[in-house]
Chain A
Amino acid sequence: MSKLGSIGARLYRGEVGYDFIGKRKIWYGISILITITALVGLAVRGLNFGIEFSGGAVFTTSKTAVSASHAQHTAESAAPGHQAMVQKLGDGSLRIQISGLDTKQSLPVQEQVAKDLKIPVKDVNTQLVGPSWGEQIANKAWLGLGIFMVLVVIYLAIAFEWRMAVSALIALVHDLTITVGIYALVGFEVTPGTVIGLLTILGYSLYDTVVVFDSLKEASKDITKQSRFTYSEIANRSINGTLVRSINTTVVALLPVAGLLFVGGGFLGAGMLNDISLALFVGLAAGAYSSIFIATPLVADLKEREPAMKALAKRVKAKRASAAAKEADREDAPGQGPDAGEGAEDDAAVVGPRHQPASRNRGRGRPSGKRR
């Protein structure tokens, strides 16, 4: 921990750090690649819709010694033209899903299955699922998603600013696309549970992005009053400063889901648990990734186009040039920059980061903290 703690401290002070913003092109590229893969997967393989979307019947038998493949054969011969999906449940019973069956067709299948498995008909439970059901749920969910996105963009635009709102939205779409794409690629069944998993991601992805943005907002509050750092640099420091939090939160959020997916899913094969936990796992990971690698760099990109930020970038450049010139004689250079008299912050900002005046330097990236 001491190691982690001191890394945290150094991240906090900006002594170490990964240049998220500077290398953003690489990460954009990676994200675009993943997104394209996801979209291709979606287009080529399509989604494997569960019976909640296609309609059908689910038969649950009592304990039986018959193997799943045998039962599948039985079920498929009883319901010609339909595909059966058979799961062996832990207590020895079978769960047979047949898509596209309706009420009338299900009865003979139930009888046939009971006969072949040599169990009484009443021990075969039939549950019919209407095709419109999943669709209705999904349609309403999409509607909710749309309304939510509009509201959240408005909210973020007010609480933060529109650039952040747009970036957060892009990151959100990115996360959802990746998750849906993975579903297509893995071929997992899409159930209402999946839809719910997706919606959870939507909440989480934005949540995570907002936490990062909040620190970014704080760090960049008085940005125009200094000329040591450009917006991108401050954004980068802010990401690095919250990196420990991001990692911790992601680990804590992912561990239980990973438990569900790998332990629960691994034990049990397909099932609703697997559907949801896969959506959650991919989505949470993508959400954590996108808030750092996509959302914040996007904000920086958008911000740097602002005239004020362009001017700032110019000032910083000029200041650094002059600082570099003075480097040799290690002199103070308070009057060198074009905006020399701009404030106490500037006066203190004479030494480059390499000089390590930690006690003076800290707080540089987060002026608001000093003002509190």
Chain B
Amino acid sequence: MAAPKKGRRAPAGQGHPGRTLVLVLIAMIGLVGGMFYYGHLTPRLGIDLAGGTSFTLAAKNQPGKPNAINETNMNTAADIMERRVNGLGVSETEVQTQGSDHIIVNIPKGTDAKQARQQVGTTAQLGFRPVLTIAAGAKTPEPKPNPSKSGSSGKDGQDKGAKGEQATGKQGTQQKASPSATPDAKPTAQGRAVTDSLKKAPSAKPTPSGSPSGKPSKQPPVPPTGDGGIPQALQKQLDALDCSTPQGRALAGTKAAGTRPADPVVACSQDGRQKYALGPVAVEGMDVSSAKAVFDNDTAQGWIVQMDFTSEGGKKFADITGKLANKMQPQNQFGIVLDGAVVSAPSVSKAIMGGNATISGGFTQQSAEDLGNMLSYGALPLSFKIDDETTVTAALGGEQLHAGLLAGAIGLGLVVIYLIAYYRGLSLVALASLLVSAILTYAIMTLLGPAIGFALNLPAVCGAIVAIGITADSFIVYFERIRDEIREGRTLRPAVERGWPRARRTILVSDFVSFLAAAVLFIVTVGKVKGFAFTLGLTTLLDVVVVFFFTKPLMTLLARRKFFADGHPWSGLDPKRLGAKPPLRRRRTAPTQTKEA
């Protein structure tokens, strides 16, 4: 890009200037038509120009993590939220920390605030936990704890069976599993032995027996934390858990989300039909390196989320699936727990190698994409609740914006006057090029709004205004080259062609510097600066496009017109006025002056 070969002709070589112009015209019509087709006639405006919605999120203290709310975690959380709502960095969403435990998210008008709220608010704590037991979603009736002492298996079983449509088939397993639940780690034989006895009554007993046996086995944390009471406590929790109402689920989710990864937990499935007792986290969300939403055609599961693990995560995953594969239902299942709710609980038939996995479970495209997005960008180190949601007005009042636009228009008017005064006929080319550039910029910015969420803010507008200078400079460089050639005594047509390669090099070299600045800033920076860098890069690219595919062909065409070729005084290319020196090779006019030399 920097230094094109001298001999090479521009793509818009003088061979078919008309064709190139038509191409540009078609591109313009296409873009403008696209604007109308999609019904977006104005660019999306940033929060400083259009106002928007502002959320205040307060970090919540979580059980077991007293010191979790600190600056590092807050900044990480803000960073992750920013990436979730502003993945491409051009949507002008602002995420800032405020004070020690608040994060403010400002979303420009026109963005789906509800979706954004979900995106920022979701902690996205993902964990793969081995399933200990599964029960139907509703609260297990009171009698249940009682039988747990008396040990009426049949009743309990019926209760569960009656409630759980999905779970019915697994009833037997459930019953068996529940005692062995917590001590998932226990040697299967023991668990079985226990399970085969009465469900509820034994459920208390296995604990003591579980603890000792559990310790040596693979998940020691379970029994110790429980202080010997876990299975019962967990079973009680499971029984008390009510997944049938949204409130109950929300409560359960919050509680489960607050549980430490190393502790077992009870959780609801997302639809509330089932509830799970789950072992400690075997693979964490941090172990996921990337995730994306895919439409699964093969197994007709609809939208699924595909995850790639990090190498360590892949190992852990292979490890846990290998262990689970040897177990009985439902303990060969693992629950994929997202923010305290079980998204899905696939069963494992063999160890899964290869470091990837999928999550299925009634996703819509949107929810699959959101989840993929969240998993890719990581879990928030803290959980938040939305404190406050307010509508904010544009920081820059409408009046300011209008005055700004007026000021810009006045400035542009002066530019036009200056160009006409200086370049006369040539200014037509300059103004037409500026106009084409403006139309292309506007149309592309408008279309990028719905496409990638691009929003125009004030800095971007300023960037565009400066771009006027850079764009105009390209013509000015070229015009001056042409004039220099005419001063050499050339007629216009050769002058236009001879001036071009040199002007082209200058334009490319200097635009490259500008584009380099834009690219570096876009990659490195965040927020507004990123949006600005995007605008700068876009306008720089458009400058090159316009000069190559519009200005140059237009010049070539105009050079064939008598008005310009003969150097009419108003063409801006009058050799006499330009002070051309002989040998004058103008077509009609006789050489006007012959200098002694």
Contact = CB atoms under 8 A, between A and B. Distances in A.
A5 B98 contact: no
A98 interface: no
B540 to A, nearest CB: 8
Contact of A273 (B396, B412, B472): B396
A53 to B, nearest CB: 12
A161 to B, nearest CB: 13
Given A206-B513, A357-B597, A362-B581, A256 B529 contact: no
A357 B596 CA distance: 7
Contacts of A262: 407
Contact of B98 (A13, A103, A242, A360): A103
A6 B489 CA distance: 14
A93 B422 contact: no
B496 to A, nearest CB: 14
Given A9-B487, A358-B581, A203 B597 contact: no
A199 to B, nearest CB: 6
B536 A200 contact: yes
B96 A245 contact: no
Contacts of A259: 407-412, 414
Interface string A260-282: 10111101100111001100100
B106 interface: yes
Q: Name the residue among B459, B463, B574, B595 with the largest chain A CB count within 10 angstroms.
A: B459
B469 A253 contact: yes
Given A159-B2, A192-B527, A260-B411, A148 B583 contact: no
A143 interface: yes
Contact of A253 (B393, B399, B470, B582): B470
Contact of B397 (A58, A89, A211): A89
Contact of A363 (B3, B398, B488): B488
Interface residues of A, number: 100
**B interface secondary structure, majority:** helix
B529 A137 contact: yes
A193 B458 contact: yes
B400 A252 contact: no
Nearest to A218: B502
B418 interface: yes
A64 interface: no
Interface stretch (B33-41, B139-147, B341-349, B475-483): B475-483
Contacts of A276: 458-459, 462
A255 B465 CA distance: 10
For chain B, the bracket of interface size reads 35 or more
Interface stretch (B242-250, B359-367, B517-525): B517-525
Interface in B491-527: 498, 501-502, 505-506, 509-514, 516-518, 520-521, 523-527
Contact of A148 (B2, B422, B521, B582): B521
B99 A102 contact: yes
A271 B403 CA distance: 12
A202 interface: yes
Interface in A230-262: 241-242, 244-245, 248-260, 262
Given A137-B527, A268-B399, 14 more contacts: A1-B572, A4-B422, A8-B483, A102-B102, A103-B102, A137-B526, A158-B2, A263-B407, A273-B458, A276-B459, A277-B462, A280-B462, A358-B581, A362-B581
Q: Top 4 closest A-B pairs, CB basis?
A: A253-B469, A259-B411, A90-B399, A9-B579
Interface of B: 2-3, 6, 48, 54, 56, 75, 94, 96-99, 102, 104, 106, 387, 390-393, 395-400, 403-404, 406-412, 414-415, 418-419, 421-422, 424, 458-459, 462-463, 465-466, 468-470, 472-473, 476-477, 480, 483-484, 487-489, 498, 501-502, 505-506, 509-514, 516-518, 520-521, 523-529, 532-533, 536, 572, 574, 577-583, 595, 597
11 contacts: A127-B54, A144-B524, A148-B520, A196-B459, A210-B509, A211-B506, A258-B411, A260-B404, A358-B597, A362-B581, A369-B488
